[in-house]
A and B are shown apart, each in its own frame.
Chain A
Amino acid sequence: MSWQRKILRVDLTAGTVTPEPLNMEWAMAYLGSRGLGTKYFVEEVGPGVDPLSPANKLIFATGPLTGTMASTGGRYTVITKGALTGAIACSNSGGYWGAELKMAGWDMIIFEGRSPKPVYLLVRDGEVSLEDGADIWGTTVWHTEEHLKTKHQDPLMRVSSIGRSAEQGCLYSAVVNDLHRAAGRSGVGTVMASKNLKAIAVRGTKGVGDIRDPKAFFAATKAGKKVLADNAVTGQGLPTYGTQVLMNVINEIGALPTRNHKDVQFEGARDISAEAMREKRPTDGKANLVTNQACFGCTIACGRISQLDNGHYTVENRPQYWGASGGLEYEAAWALGAANGVNDLEALTFANFICNEDGFDPISFGATVGAVMELYEMGVLTKEQIGIEAPFGSARALTFLAEKTATGEGFGKEMGLGSKRLCEKYGHPELSMSVKGQEFPAYDSRGIQGMGLTYATSNRGACHLRSYTVASEVLGIPIKTDPLATDGKAGLVKAFQDATAVFDSAGICLFTSFAWSLVDVAPQLQAACEGDWSLENLNVVGERIWNMERMFNNAAGFTAKDDTLPKRLTTEPAKTGPAKGLVNGLAKMLPEYYAERGWTADGIPTPETRARLGL
C-alpha cells in the first residue's frame, strides 16, 4: 500500500487545515493522482461552478508510485475546473515537489474557498500551517521560491507556486515547482491565484514506505528501468535531445503547425531544433544546451537546462537571466517558434524563461501570439494597440509580448485572455486554434489525422497528453499506423486515452509510455499496492477515469458540438509535405469514436457503459 492514506483539507476561507483519511474505496477504483483526485473533485464540486469563484476547489494529488524507486515516480497533478476552458482540468508536473509532499506523509491536498488575504501553505511533515503571503504576493515564481527557502532557513524545501501572470488574471497561468517544472495547462495557476494562495512550501522527512511486497517491487521496478534504458527513445533520444528530438521529424512529415496553422511545415524548423540547441553559437562559442536533467526518480532525464547568449538583445545588461535554467522542450519550442514563424532560438529560450519565471503556459501563450500576429497582418490589430509591430516571424514581438503577459501590463492583459476570447473580442473567432478554449499543441491534425480526434475529444481541451497517437502514427509505438488515414483511429484514440489515464494516475511520467505499456506498469503497481492492479483491471480503471471526466464536462454544459476543430483544419488543406491537399477527417472519426466508447450519438455515455464501469 504505497498510498500514505492521508490527505489534507485546507479551507482557505476559514483559514483551517484538517487531516483526513484517504478514501481507500475510491483509491481501489481510481488508483491515485489524476483518477483519484478527479474522483474527489467531481464528488465535491458542482459542474456549474464558476472556475474563479470560491466554490471551485483545487486539488494537488500524488499517485501510489510517487516518491518510490519506480522510474519517474515523482509526479503530481493539479485538478480543478479550468480557468481557460471551464472543463475538468488536470495538469501534471514532475520535478521534486510531488515526491516531497508524499514523503511528508500526504497523498493529496484539497484547497477550498478563498483566503481573505494572500497566504501560502507551509507543510513540514505533519506540521501544516497557513502563513501570511503578503511579502511574496506580486513577485515571481523564482523570487517566491528563493524567498521562502531563505525565510525558513531550509535549502532542502521544495516549493510550488504561481507567478505574477496568475495574479493578473492571465487565463492560462501555470503552477510551477522547482523553478521550471509546471502543471502547465488549462489555467490551474489562475484558479490558485483566485484563492489568494501564492505557494505551497513542503519539506518531507517521513518517507514513503509500506511497499506491499518489497522483493517483487524491486524486481519489477528494476525490470522496468531496463526496458527504459534499452529503448531507443527513452534510453537515447530523450536524454540526448529531449522531446525536441521531434522538431525535425514532425516538420518533415508535414505536421508542424506554422504561423497559426496557415502552414504545416516551417522553413526555420532546423534553427529551433534539438540539433541547433547542441551546436556552438557563432556569437559566444557556447551551446544553448548546457545539460540534461531528471525529475525525481527518473531514469530517462529528458529535461533541458539551457543558458542564453549574454549578448542577445533579450538579456543584454540583465544578468539575472545569464545563469542556466529550464530550456526548451518540444512543445514550447514549437509554440514560441513555429506557431509564430520565429526562428531565433535565443529569443525562444528567453520567452520560455519568462513563462517559467512568471508561471504561464508557453503553449497557450505562443499560440495566442500566433493569433495576434495573424490579426496584425490582417490589419485588425495595430502597432499602437499591441505596443510593437507584430508580423509573423518577429522575435522582438514574441519576447515583448512574453514580458507583458508576465506582468499583465498593456497588451499583456489581452494576451492573458487566450486566443479564443481574444479572437472573439476582435471579431475573428475562426482564427483561434483551440478546442474547448484551449490552444493546440505542436502537431497539425492534417498531417497526423488521429490527433484531430484526440484534440476534439480531449476532456481538458486541445491537448496531446490525453492520447498521444503520434507515438503510433509517426514513431510506430506500439504499432505503426498511417498518419494520413482516418481508418482505425477511433479505436486507437480510445486505447491511448484509457492507458494514459492509468499512467497519470499511478504517479509516473507519461514519457515512459514510449517504452512501457500497461504490461510493464501493472507488476510495479501490483507489487507496491494492495488491490487488483492486473492488466485487465487497469484497462477498466483507465476507461472509468475517462468516462468520469467526460460526465463532469457533459454536466458542465459541454456537448458533442464542443468535440470539434477550428474550420481551418477541416476546410483549408495542407499546402505542402506528405499531407498536401488533406484536411482533418474528424467528421468520419467522431461517430466511430462515440460508438467505440459506448456513448450515444450525442457523445453521452449510455447507461450500459456507465453500469459496466461502475459510474
Chain B
Amino acid sequence: MMNSLHIDASKCTGCLQCEMACSYENHGIFATSKSRIKVFEFHSTGRKVPYTCTQCAEAWCMHACPVGAIHEDKATGAKVVNETTCVGCKVCTIACPFGTINYVADTGKVQKCDLCGGNPACAEACPTGAITFVDASWTGLDRMRSWAEKLDTTVKTA
C-alpha cells in the first residue's frame, strides 16, 4: 500500500512544528526557512494552510529536469532529487505548477519533499492531525465518513 501526505488545513494552528521537524530531518537544524513544507497564514481570515509537494504521478519537475536528477522512489512514490546529479539550473522550479520545488542558495541545488523515505517527519510532529500520512488511494476517507454520518438512514413511515 502506498501512503501520501494528507492535509486538513482547518485543523492547523500555525505552530510550525512541521517546519522545524522538516528542517531538522533534512538539514540537522531548526530553521523554518529551510523547510520543504510551508504553513501560510492568511491574517484577515485567520486561516492557516500547510502546503507542500503532493508527489504528482506524472511529475512536471521530473519530466522537465534536463539531467535526470529527479527520480521516483518506487517504494514511497516520492519524487526525489539526487543532489549529486542536480546542476541547479532551476528548470524544475519553473515547471512545477505548485511552487513546491525550490532552489537552495546555500547548496546550489534544489530541494523538495521526499516523504522522508516513507516516514514523514512533519506528519509525525504535527500535534493537531492537520498533516497525516495515509493510504494514498483513500485520502478522502475521513471526509466521506463525516458526510456519511450526516445521512439520514432512519426508515421513513408516511
Contacts and interface: CB of A to CB of B under 8 A. Distances in A.
Interface of A: 67-69, 71, 96, 99, 103, 156, 179, 203-209, 225, 229, 239, 290-299, 301, 305, 307, 323-325
Contacts of A323: 43-45
Given A229-B127, A297-B20, A324-B43, A292 B13 contact: yes
Interface string B18-55: 00110110011111111000000001111110000000
Contacts of A103: 30-33
Nearest to B41: A293
Contact of B15 (A203, A206, A297): A297
Contact of B44 (A156, A208, A209, A324): A324
Contacts of A99: 32
A609 B45 CA distance: 53
Contacts of A299: 15, 17, 127
Contacts of B44: 323-325
A294 B29 contact: no
A225 to B, nearest CB: 6
A349 to B, nearest CB: 13
Nearest to A206: B31
Given A68-B20, A229-B127, A323-B44, 11 more contacts: A69-B20, A69-B125, A99-B32, A103-B31, A205-B34, A207-B34, A291-B47, A293-B46, A294-B15, A301-B128, A324-B45
B106 to A, nearest CB: 9
B14 A297 contact: no
Contacts of B31: 103, 204-208
Nearest to A307: B46
Contacts of B32: 99, 103
A195 B66 CA distance: 55
B13 A208 contact: no
A296 B15 contact: yes
A168 to B, nearest CB: 26
Nearest to A180: B43
A71 B13 CA distance: 13
12 contacts: A68-B30, A69-B125, A203-B33, A205-B31, A205-B33, A207-B27, A207-B29, A291-B47, A293-B14, A294-B15, A295-B15, A297-B20
B30 A324 contact: no
Given A69-B21, A229-B127, A324-B45, A207 B33 contact: yes
A204 B33 CA distance: 8
Contact of B46 (A67, A69, A208, A305): A305
A69 B15 contact: no
A96 B128 CA distance: 19
